[in-house]
């Protein structure tokens, strides 16, 4: 089964620009984390931006990536930890290829509302989609 998943990812990413392919893999990892936390009933709350302005997407992404370290700290599940570590590498790699100026007027991470991990993951997917489909 694992090989079928890998083949599917390779086929999907072959037709996409490199950074877009990475963002697609980030979304896949987020969905995998969501499935895994349901199976172990993880109940963390994390700083979450639910309504980010496109001009703040890099700042918000950095906050989400910082919060992933909380999941690493609180989870004792090796599948979750491996997936989170992979997601951090993919997202940072994609961010490093984006040229951006300092985003002004954006909230600091600690100013964001703390929300349940399920809402955090849903909002994270939304932010990633802003990178895939910039407006």
Domain containing 43 equals 18-132
The answer as to whether 50 is a domain residue is: yes
Q: Quick check: is 27 in a domain? A: yes
pLDDT digits (tens, 9 = 90+) for 6-56: 444 444 444 445 556 789 999 999 999 999 998 888 888 999 999 889 999
**CB neighbour list of residue 86: distance below 8 Å, 6 or more residues apart:** 29
Let me know if residue 9 belongs to a domain. Answer: no
Residue 31: its pLDDT value, please? 96
Mean pLDDT of the chain: 85
The answer as to whether 1 is a domain residue is no
The strand pair at 45-48 and 113-116 is best described as: antiparallel
- Its pTM stands at 0.80
Any idea what the CATH number is for the domain that residue 89 is in? 1.20.1250.70
Structural tokens at position 113: 């509302």
8-state DSSP, 111: G
> Exposed e or buried b for every residue in 14-32, given b needs 16+ CB within 10 A?
eeeeebebbbbbbbbbbeb
Structure-token pair, residue 4: 């079928």
**Position 3 in a domain:** no
| Residue 105 within a domain | yes
Establish if 72 belongs to a structural domain.
yes
Express as a percent the part of the chain with pLDDT over 90: 61
Report the number of distinct structural domains present in the chain.
1
């Amino acid at each position: 089964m694992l090989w079928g998943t890998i083949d599917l990812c390779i086929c999907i990413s072959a037709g996409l620009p490199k950074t877009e392919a990475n963002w697609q893999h980030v979304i896949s990892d987020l969905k995998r984390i969501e499935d895994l936390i349901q199976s172990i009933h993880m109940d963390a709350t994390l700083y979450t931006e639910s309504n980010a302005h496109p001009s703040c997407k890099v700042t918000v992404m950095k906050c989400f990536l910082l919060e992933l370290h909380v999941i690493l700290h609180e989870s004792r599940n090796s599948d979750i930890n491996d997936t989170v570590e992979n997601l951090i590498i993919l997202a940072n790699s994609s961010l490093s290829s984006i040229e951006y100026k300092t985003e002004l007027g954006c909230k600091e991470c600690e100013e964001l509302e703390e929300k349940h991990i399920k809402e955090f993951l849903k909002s994270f997917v939304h932010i990633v989609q802003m990178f895939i489909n910039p407006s």
